[in-house]
Structure 1
């Protein structure tokens, strides 16, 4: 499902305009993004799941084409842990 399809479904289900649904989805995305940028880097949506950030240390890897060793820099990554209700549904 794409963002456009989700917007249309949300507008239909909630009985609101497509623009209002787009605004609501964008607000949700912005809220999750802002929460992940904070020091705790965690947002929990009860029944759905938890988005959290974790730090990956720098490491050595291999270029799959040449086999040459390359340095992979440290970075923060986003993880998602599905909630109980979501796991049971899927």
Structure 2
């Protein structure tokens, strides 16, 4: 599901909400989660899951065209752990 599809689904289930308002809410939510992760914070949405970042160590990779070694720097990677109730809803 894309962001646009999510917005359409929310507006179709809640006819009193305008598309532009739902867009602003979804966009603000994503920006807040992104900023929190960028700051090293953890974002927990009860019943849904937890967003965190994990540090990926620097390593030596290979250029797929030439096979030459390439240094890949250390970086933060986003990580999502599904909540217990979400797992139960998906697997029932």
TM range (shorter): 0.7 to 0.9
Quote the Cα distance in structure 2 between the aligned partners of 1:63 and 1:89.
42
Q: State the Cα distance separating 1:20 from its structure 2 match.
A: 1.2
Equivalence for 1:70: 70
Question: Aligned-pair RMSD on alpha carbons?
Answer: 1.4
Q: State the Cα distance separating 1:63 from its structure 2 match.
A: 2.6
Residue 30 (structure 1) aligned with residue 31 (structure 2): yes
Q: State the Cα distance separating 1:62 from its structure 2 match.
A: 2.1
SS of the counterpart of 1:67? coil
SS of the counterpart of 1:65? coil
**Per-residue deviation, residues 4-30 of structure 1 (Å, max 9, x unmatched):** 111011112233111111111111111
TM-score scaled by structure 1? 0.86
Q: State the Cα distance separating 1:68 from its structure 2 match.
A: 2.4
Large movers: runs of 4+ above 6 Å: none
Which 5+ residue runs of structure 2 have no aligned equivalent? Answer: none
Equivalence for 1:54: 54
Residue 7 (structure 1) aligned with residue 7 (structure 2): yes
Aligned length: 89
Which 5+ residue runs of structure 1 have no aligned equivalent? Answer: none
**Per-residue deviation, residues 26-83 of structure 1 (Å, max 9, x unmatched):** 11111111211224x2100011111101211211122333332221111111111111
